[in-house]
Structure 1
Amino acid sequence: MCGAIVTSPFDVVKTRLQSDLFREKHTTIGLAGNGTVAIPRRVNLLWHFVETTHIIRDIYREESLRALFKGLGPTLVGVIPARSINFFTYGNGKQIIANHFNHGEENTLVHLSAAACAGVATGTATNPIWVVKTRLQLATNNKPPIPAPRSMFGGSLQMIKQIAREEGIRGFYKGLSASYLGVTEGTIQWVLYEKLKRLTKDTEGKGGVLEWFGMLGSAGTAKCVATLITYPHEVIRTRLRQPMVNGKVKYTGLAQTLRLVIAEEGTRALYGGLSAHLMRVIPNAAVMYSIYEAILRWA
Structure 2
Amino acid sequence: MADTPPRPVEGPSKSSLLPAKSWHHFVAGGLGGMCGAIVTSPFDVVKTRLQSDLFRAKHVGLSIEGNGAATVAVRRNLLWHFVETAHIIRDIYREESPRALFKGLGPTLVGVVPARSINFFTYGNGKQIIANNFNHGQENSWVHLAAAAIAGVATGTATNPIWVVKTRLQLDAHKPEIAGGNSFFGGSVAMVKKILREEGVRGFYKGLSASYLGVTEGTIQWVLYERLKKLTAGTQGKGGALEWFGMIGSAGTAKCVASLITYPHEVLRTRLRQPLVDGKVKYTGLWQTLRLVIAEEGVGSLYGGLSAHLMRVIPNAAVMFCIYEAALRMT
CA contact (8 A) 2:103 2:184 kept: yes
Give the Cα separation in 2 of the matches to 1:129 and 1:82.
10
Give the Cα separation in 2 of the matches to 1:36 and 1:124.
47
Query: 2:96 pairs with 63, 71, 89, which one?
Result: 63
Give the Cα separation in 1 of the matches to 2:62 and 2:318.
30
Deviation at 1:184, TM superposition (A): 0.1
1:244 aligned partner: 276
* Higher RCO (C-alpha under 8 Å, 6+ residues apart): 2
Q: How many residue pairs were aligned?
A: 297
What are the residue-to-residue correspondences of 1:169-184 with 2, within 5 Å? 169-184=201-216
Deviation at 1:36, TM superposition (A): 4.2
Matched, 1:155 2:187: yes
Q: For residues 90-130 of structure 1, what are the alpha-carbon distances to aligned partners after superposition, in whole Å with 9 as ceiling and x for unaligned?
A: 01111111111111111111100000000000000000000
1:109 aligned partner: 142
Query: 1:43 pairs with 76, 80, 84, which one?
Result: 76
TM-score, with normalisation over the residues of structure 1?
A: 0.95
Give the Cα separation in 1 of the matches to 2:135 and 2:213.
26
Give the Cα separation in 2 of the matches to 1:128 and 1:70.
16
2:26 aligned partner: none
Give the Cα separation in 1 of the matches to 2:70 and 2:134.
60
Deviation at 1:5, TM superposition (A): 2.2
What are the residue-to-residue correspondences of 1:196-207 with 2, within 5 Å? 196-207=228-239
TM-score, with normalisation over the residues of structure 2?
A: 0.86
Unaligned runs of 5+ in 2: 1-33
2:200 aligned partner: 168
Give the Cα separation in 2 of the matches to 1:296 and 1:60.
38
Letter in 2 for 1:65: P
2:23 aligned partner: none
CA contact (8 A) 1:29 1:54 kept: no
Letter in 1 for 2:325: E
Deviation at 1:50, TM superposition (A): 0.1
How high is the sequence identity, in percent, across the aligned residues? 80
1:214 aligned partner: 246
1:257 aligned partner: 289
1:119 aligned partner: 152
- Which shifted more, 185-194 or 64-73? 64-73
Give the Cα separation in 1 of the matches to 2:65 and 2:39.
27
CA contact (8 A) 2:172 2:179 kept: no
CA contact (8 A) 2:210 2:266 kept: yes
Query: 2:318 pairs with 272, 286, 293, which one?
Result: 286
Give the Cα separation in 2 of the matches to 1:161 and 1:102.
48
Q: For residues 111-168 of structure 1, what are the alpha-carbon distances to aligned partners after superposition, in whole Å with 9 as ceiling and x for unaligned?
A: 00000000000000000000000000001118x9x75322111110000011111111
Matched, 1:271 2:271: no
Matched, 1:131 2:164: yes
1:21 aligned partner: 54
Cα distance change, pair 245–32 in 1 and its aligned pair in 2 (3 A):
farther
Cα distance change, pair 33–139 in 1 and its aligned pair in 2 (3 A):
farther
